[in-house]
Structure 1
Amino acid sequence: MKRAGIMMMGLLLPLGQAWSAEATASTGWQMTPFFGYSSSIDFEKSGDVVQPVPLSASLDSLQGQSSGNWGLFISKEVDDPGMVELLYSHQSTRISPDQPDRLTVDMLHFAGALILSDNLMAPYIGAGIGVTRFAAYDSEVTPSMSLALGVLPRLTEHLALRAEVRGYGSLVNDSNQFLCNPDNCVFKVRGELVTQWQANIGLTLRF
């Protein structure tokens, strides 16, 4: 975990412009609304929960199903080839096996992207640190981090596409209650690193 944190901080430092010097008229701000597809999230049951009814004895894990997501980047170009940015992502999905409540996942990260080459596709690597909010029967806010690989091909001086694959890791607390049905609490998530992947595509406005 310490090594991953050092890697993220190293990626967040050398950030800067996403486009070449021909577009110097802009202020260097970007806004990118995006939509995408989120992988499933697997939750393992905490050993502290005592099953009160025989029918729930086999409930050792729950899964937030894969589904669509949407979100927003607000980015600022800096002196080196890349960006510093604020990232928000939202997902609402079903819980499997079926549960009465849905699971919502909201992520807010301070992030950055390092442009690897100023060619047509403008490939980049990114990293972020922030928080994730899981909400079903209750809610839990946990620290989280992300790593990304993407491309940022220009369409015009002020428009570009943005496509990326981003992996998230969220540290869930042992005392969490967000998957604990208050009428019959048979499941608490085991405290661990919960992971998820997203594939996102958006349209970037540069101004």
Structure 2
Amino acid sequence: MRLSIGVLMASLCALPATAEVYVAPFAGYSFAGSEFDISSTASTDNGQGKIAESENYGLMLGITTKDPGNVYLLYSHQATDLKGAGNFSPEIITSMDVDYFHVGGSLYFPNGALQPYVTTSLGLTHMRPGDGYSNETRFSMAIGGGFEYQVSQSISLFAEVKGYATFVDADNALFCDHAGCIWKIQSDIMWQGQANIGASFKF
């Protein structure tokens, strides 16, 4: 966590006067969602739940830094399902949209046209289940790495892998409707991975 915050703060403090603005759409796959222990609020049943793997897409808007690197705002969207496990049915419990709203920074290690990089970000995870259940918003952080290939002065392609950690308070009642809550979660962190490809356009 200290490394993530350090990389982000270093990027924020190094904005050059000639910084370039860029926009970077991306798409990918969200995977390896961690299971968390849950208990039904309507019975004594215990089990596990997880967010299902599925495609995601998003957009970054940022400015370059002299490190070399960048500072960016990120939006990522995943349309997925909430699934049960253990004593709960493995079938879909409800549909769910997972959105990440982050501010982050990257540090590049140029090697000609190919530029490996590390990236970190922090912000909010917004979970929106279907079937009339309440939305939930939690603090989250991400760290990852990738490669960017410079096609021209203003266009580049990139591929990256990230890990997101959403901080969920233990023993919290989540996803409630007019009749009550689905369950209580016994977990501190919800993990999720992303593998993305995209293009960056500088102005």
Establish whether TM, by shorter chain, passes 0.5.
yes
TM-score by length of 1: 0.82
Give the counterpart letter for 1:111 in structure 2: G
Unaligned runs of 5+ in 2: 13-17, 84-89
Q: Distance in 2 between matches of 1:153 and 1:92?
A: 29
TM-score by length of 2: 0.83
Q: Distance in 1 between matches of 2:178 and 2:78?
A: 23
CA-based RMSD of the aligned residues comes to: 2.2
Whether 1:68 and 2:55 are equivalent positions in the alignment is: yes
2:69 touches 2:105 (CA, 8 Å); kept in 1? yes
Residues 40/64 of structure 1: CA separation in 2 closer, same or farther (3 Å cut): farther
Measure how far apart 1:120 and its partner are.
2.0
Unaligned runs of 5+ in 1: 17-25
Q: Percent identity?
A: 30
Alignment of 1:46-195 (within 5 A): 46=38, 49-52=40-43, 57=45, 59-96=46-83, 97-136=90-129, 137-173=133-169, 174-178=171-175, 180=176, 183=179, 185-195=181-191
Residues 187/43 of structure 1: CA separation in 2 closer, same or farther (3 Å cut): farther
> Which structure's residues are more often strand, by fraction?
2
Measure how far apart 1:122 and its partner are.
0.5
Query: What residue in structure 2 maps to residue 29 of structure 1?
Result: 21
Residues 27/184 of structure 1: CA separation in 2 closer, same or farther (3 Å cut): closer
Paired residues in the alignment total 188
